[in-house]
Structure 1
């Protein structure tokens, strides 16, 4: 649970989309993050994550793809920070569902830290007998549900009427901070060996 709620690139992206495009966008981004967990579960159970983690070229390809995507999102967040400062209610109509879903999905999928997390967890759970694999699958589904619930709660909280006025008044700075946060995660991912 602590891993899921600790701030990271997924959190920043859900926050950014929620504040900029409304609750619906934040929830779809959260669902994209949660759906990416299915992919992590699948390749962990098949042993592919172990193969990737042991092959430096493949691991670096995943790592740099993740860095590139976070860099793109960060730069886009900073450049467009003050582009659309309008009332939140108007934004609800223009949410590109697939775009938000894809952003959340790719943000989580291309995160090598998530891949290593699932590798470390699933290597402890998967056993040669079918019972161990059933437990691993149930744990994976639990992680998927936990991600979905947490990030949907984040989207709901940051689009609540209590916070809406405050966040809209500092939207440009918040967008710049989110963009800088995504750039920071990209840089840290790039320089980490």
Structure 2
């Protein structure tokens, strides 16, 4: 891939990653509950979903999903429902200042965080449609395709990890003071719960 084309890809990747969405909300929520360092597991789950989306589009399945209203809507509503479920669960979560229970929450298994991040991004058919429009701009069919897809995927994933971890997860640190009392925990739970539900509803309504 030419350096000028890669720079354009990197710039687009930065803009995409900084666009607030379910992944950013999930990352900030994980950082608040489990800490900055452990939030990486949810971020890695989100990247695994991103790689799946790239593979789907590269194999041409994305064209079928984008062209099939039924398939698109099934995935879209499933994703919206999952986000609304996460939001309601977060909203209704009662504050707990018990040190042992708080420690248990902070020590959520890495696989659980990874899996949640995976599903948050995987159940987003708009990502497939987006990559369907985005990827061809940086792929030159006259050159070998596999190396180009590898560079594109590695670039987008690396940028998203950096933005999610060092911007969104780090930004959540400023809210840590709210976690030390019941009122602050309630506020945070309701704020993030509402954000999850709002993103889920938008995913279901916006075409």
TM-score (norm. length: structure 1)? 0.86
2:147 alignment partner, one of 125, 134, 155: 134
In structure 2, relative to structure 1, the CA distance for the partners of 1:89 and 1:78 (3 Å cut) is: closer
The answer as to 2:190 corresponding to 1:176 is: yes
- For 2:62 and 2:109, the matched residues in 1 are separated by 31
Deviations 1:23-76 (A, max 9, x none): 344221111111211101111111111110001111111101111111111111
- For 2:137 and 2:110, the matched residues in 1 are separated by 36
Pairing 1:10-159 to 2, within 5 Å after superposition: 10-80=23-93, 82-85=94-97, 90=103, 94-153=107-166, 154-159=168-173
In structure 2, relative to structure 1, the CA distance for the partners of 1:188 and 1:157 (3 Å cut) is: closer
Considering only aligned residues, what root-mean-square deviation do their CA atoms show, in Å?
2.3
Structure 1: runs of 5 or more not aligned: none
- Structure of larger gyration radius: 2
- For 1:135 and 1:57, the matched residues in 2 are separated by 31
> How many residues matched?
190
Kindly indicate whether the alpha-carbon contact (under 8 Å) linking 1:73 and 1:182 is maintained by their aligned counterparts in 2. yes
Structure 2: runs of 5 or more not aligned: 1-13
Deviations 1:65-91 (A, max 9, x none): 1111111111111111x3334569835
